[in-house]
Structure 1
Amino acid sequence: MTESGTRRAGRPRKAVLTRERITANALELVSDSGYEHLTMQRLAKSLGVSPSALYNHVDSKHDLMQWIQELVMTDIDTTIFDTEPLTEALVQWATSYRDVFARHIPLIPIIAVLPVSDSPRTLSMYERVAEALKDYGLAENEIIPSIVALESFIFGSAMDTAAPHDIFDTTNHKDLTPHFTQAVAAQRKTQLNTSDDSFQRGLSAMIAGLLSTGSAS
């Protein structure tokens, strides 16, 4: 008791768990070490609680990945579909999508095959892209294949951002690869970021091809 007769406020003995805090810690663990190293025990330790306390908030690792999916999808911009022509909107959306997963590359193999049924934000993103493609004039049976094609390219390009600078080095086999070696040298002279330039080049070609069957915007 203090001199005034009131009890001095102290720190809570147990860490307060919220969905937001659990998800943020789980995302950090996956991004640092990969999905295979994310365990409920390790996550509980990072949160300063027991595994049993953690299970009071999340039922399984699968549910946890759904939470992570929801969190990372909040950073993907779909508002540009309200203000930009479709081609430009798709470029900005895809670039935003790639940038998000370039920061969380270990998530790609999991998120790419994770069902979206319990991820409202992911479904909202797909809905906005599908609506824009339909409004443009793309046939309904072409919308999902187009989204999947773009998404596959986005995920691959996000992983490419982590490729080593010398990935195309041909020093030991120049005699076997004269054309490729010259192409690599020519690219280096441009001083462009290979990953970024390749992404934008490929994205523009993909969008032009996918929209070629739709009506003019």
Structure 2
Amino acid sequence: MPAVSAAQGRSTSNGGAQRRRAGRPSAAVLDKAGITAAALELISRKGYGGLTMAALAKVLEVAPSALYNHVASKQDVLLLVEDHLMSLVDLSGFGGGSWEDAVRAWAWSYRDVFAEHTPLIPVIAVLPVTDAPQTLAMYETVSKGFLDAGFPQERIIPAIVALESFIFGSAYDVTAPEDIFDSGSMAGSTPNFSAAVRSSAAGQERGRPADTAFSLGLDALISGLGALRK
């Protein structure tokens, strides 16, 4: 067999190097941002029940073993999702201005973020915040805002929980059908309720009923919680 020339050898060698470079990704195939985005996309299509490690690996087009190199469990994925969503909540009001305005802006933003991700509310609402940096940063900012406004330290967390309970429930209300309070054939046997529903609809000048209800309830909560300040 004839010997391969030096030029041919270099060409073959270079071609092999080029092929290796082409096959090597310029960045990691997986990262936490990509896993988070894929998890949110999967939940939006299939609900929380559809979020499994196997399904997530399939969306990411990787083997499950590759996914486990970045997250140890579904709980880790949920922490990434929680942290991402909490990072979207507007905290700018706590940088200045009144406590009332800061809480109002935070609550509206919080509700709107989770209105887009209602399947996650039952999970996120009871998910520990341990080792979730963005989530903890949010709570730190809000807690300091309460403290600076004169709240007794022991009342801050209960106040935040009370607001969050209202916020999460209100996020569901954003997606409720418009006729949710229609009494149907039983309108005659529920005259007070039915009249209140009609009156509410007639008084709805603009915006969504969910927004009107949220504004009303939030104002009441802010007023009531404000009375706890020193």
Q: TM-score, normalised by structure 2?
A: 0.86
Aligned pairs for 1:80-119 within 5 A: 80-119=93-132
Partner of residue 214, structure 1: 229
Q: Aligned with 1:174: secondary structure? A: helix
The letter of the residue matching 1:205 is A
Q: Deviations over 1:21-72 (max 9, x none)?
A: 0111011112332221101111111111111111111110001101111111
Match among 149, 152, 159 for residue 139 of structure 1: 152
CA contact (8 A) 1:31 1:105 kept: no
Partner of residue 195, structure 1: 210
Q: Find out whether 1:65 has 2:83 as its counterpart.
A: no
Partner of residue 75, structure 1: 88
Q: Find out whether 1:149 has 2:133 as its counterpart.
A: no
The letter of the residue matching 1:113 is V
CA distance in 2, matches of 1:93, 1:115: 21
Which blocks of at least 5 consecutive residues in structure 1 are unaligned? none
CA contact (8 A) 1:150 1:206 kept: yes
The letter of the residue matching 2:101 is E
CA contact (8 A) 2:87 2:138 kept: no
Identity level (%) = 48
Mark the CA change 1:15 to 1:186 in structure 2 (over 3 Å): closer, same or farther.
same
Q: Find out whether 1:45 has 2:58 as its counterpart.
A: yes
* Higher relative contact order (Cα pairs below 8 Å, separated by 6+ residues): 1
After TM superposition, the runs of 4+ consecutive aligned structure 1 residues lying more than 4 A away are 8-15
CA distance in 1, matches of 2:44, 2:85: 11
How many residues align? The count is: 213
- Bigger share in helix: 2
Q: Measure how far apart 1:167 and its partner are.
A: 0.5
Q: Measure how far apart 1:175 and its partner are.
A: 1.2
The letter of the residue matching 1:25 is A
Q: Deviations over 1:152-185 (max 9, x none)?
A: 0000000111111110001211111111111111
Q: Measure how far apart 1:12 and its partner are.
A: 5.4
CA distance in 1, matches of 2:75, 2:160: 24
The letter of the residue matching 2:106 is W
CA contact (8 A) 2:118 2:172 kept: yes
Q: CA RMSD in A?
A: 2.0
Q: Deviations over 1:81-121 (max 9, x none)?
A: 11221101100000000010001111101110110111111
Structure exhibiting the larger radius of gyration computed from Cα positions:
2
Which blocks of at least 5 consecutive residues in structure 2 are unaligned? 1-9
CA distance in 1, matches of 2:211, 2:44: 21
CA distance in 1, matches of 2:102, 2:178: 30
Q: Aligned with 2:189: secondary structure? A: coil
Match among 47, 58, 75 for residue 34 of structure 1: 47
